[in-house]
Amino acid sequence: MRVKLPLESHIRLNQPLPWDVLSAQGTLLLRKGTVPTDERQLRALIERGAFVEEEEFQRHQPMPEEQARPEPPPKPLSGFDQWASIYRRIGVLLRQHRSEPQFVEKLAQLSNEVRTLADHDIDVAIFAMTRLDRTHYAIAHTLQVALCCDIYARFLRYDEAERSSLVKAALTMNLTILELQNTLSRQEGRPSAEQLEEIRAHPMRARDWLASAGVTDESWLRAVAEHHESSDGKGYPLGLSIVFPAAEVINIADRYCALMSHRRGREALVSNKAARDLYMLTTGHLQEIIARMIKAFGMFPPGNFVKLANGETAVVLRRSEHANKPLVASLISEVGRKLVDPVLRDTAMAEFNITHVVPESVMAVQFDRDQLFELVKQP
């Protein structure tokens, strides 16, 4: 007696057959030991009907413990994996904005993901953005500014609508000059006259394109249009003296993140120097925005490398209630050797006080971010 084979589970590509495969009439189709390598061959067998002698079939049935076990559920993505995914998807969407018919809806969804993920673990969010791959400068900068604005809005308890508009505006403020931004990040010397013209025009061009794409949120549109205006009337493109508050927040976040990014011919500033320099370059209520931003991020934001009083070099993991006393993990010993295992240090203790920030450019040590955050896992 013959049995019809359930081919999907008993005949597989690149695996030898344990029995002869016959037609319904008993004609030999495939000999025992044959290794099927052609998917079309298997489809032909299904169409014609494939059988095997029942005795032979039962002899080669797997024992219960040998039967295929269900695949384990996929491992949940870590916070860092989720930030990397957002970074990739925002990059694709912004670069292809002119050909994406659902741009506004997809941008809103990514904005929601940014805010939700920041709410879940704000220190992981800051760490991920601090250590973000800046190969694609324009996209990295955009996401860093958006997160900076969101953390500021969260710190000041903006309502959901205000917070949402601010993040979407930050994500789209440079929509029309992404390639120019990448060019300028690699360019020595000042922008050309043509580049300056494009820079001065980009806020209104971005605003107009967003409106044509279906954006009706006036707070979003106005924040994009005015994010380079200044209350002294020296901003652009309109030289306004009364500037939309959300636009001013984006302006400060934009400048703060730019100072901490490496550009050709200019080294990135460490976080506390960037904050201090920006504070000295502004006046009045803009200094208040910077001060609040520093309180929200801390003087030493997660992801920064710091030197401790005991000589160790550490990376900041979590902020504390004191802006200058975060929790850190030491990576390098006082004699300059990489530690076998990172060691958690509380910088509120005198021997582990932070003496200065270490520039990223001099750090060559590798580390596992997820492993580091296991040391300070939230309850």
Identify the H or E element spanning 314.
strand 313-318
Sheet holding 305-308, edge to edge: 338-346, 327-332, 313-318, 305-308, 354-358
The rounded Cα 212 to chain-centroid distance in angstroms is 28
Which of 38-47, 133-142, 183-192, 303-312 is predicted most confidently? 303-312
Across 294-321, average pLDDT: 93
Residue with tokens 């400060």: 252
pLDDT of residue 66: 45
pLDDT tens column, 86-106: 999 999 999 999 999 999 999
Across 239-249, average pLDDT: 96
Among residues 185, 78, 79, the alpha carbon closest in space to that of 139 is found at 185
The rounded Cα 72 to chain-centroid distance in angstroms is 27
pLDDT tens column, 164-205: 999 999 999 999 999 999 999 888 889 999 999 999 999 999
* pLDDT above 50 for 276: yes
* pLDDT above 70 for 48: no
User: Which of 12-21, 181-190, 337-346 is least confident?
Assistant: 12-21
Cis omega before residue 301 (within 30°)?
no
| Alpha carbon distance 81, 198 (integer Å) | 35
- Backbone φ and ψ of 332, nearest 5°: -130, 135
Q: What is the CA radius of gyration of the chain?
A: 29
CB-count exposure of residue 49 (10 Å: 0-12, 13-18, 19+): middle
Q: Is 369 left (phi over 0), alpha (psi -120 to 50) or beta?
A: alpha
Task: Give the number of other Cβ atoms within 10 Å of residue 275's Cβ.
Answer: 21
Across 143-160, average pLDDT: 95
At residue 333, what is the residue type? S
Of the pLDDT bands very low, low, confident and very high (cuts 50, 70, 90), residue 41 is: low
The mean predicted confidence, pLDDT, of the chain is 87
Q: Kindly list the structural domains of the chain, giving each domain's residue range(s) and its CATH number in brackets, ordered by start.
A: 2-66 (3.90.105), 79-188+195-297 (1.10.3210.10), 305-374 (no CATH)
Identify the H or E element spanning 110.
helix 103-120
CB-count exposure of residue 177 (10 Å: 0-12, 13-18, 19+): buried
pLDDT of residue 51: 78
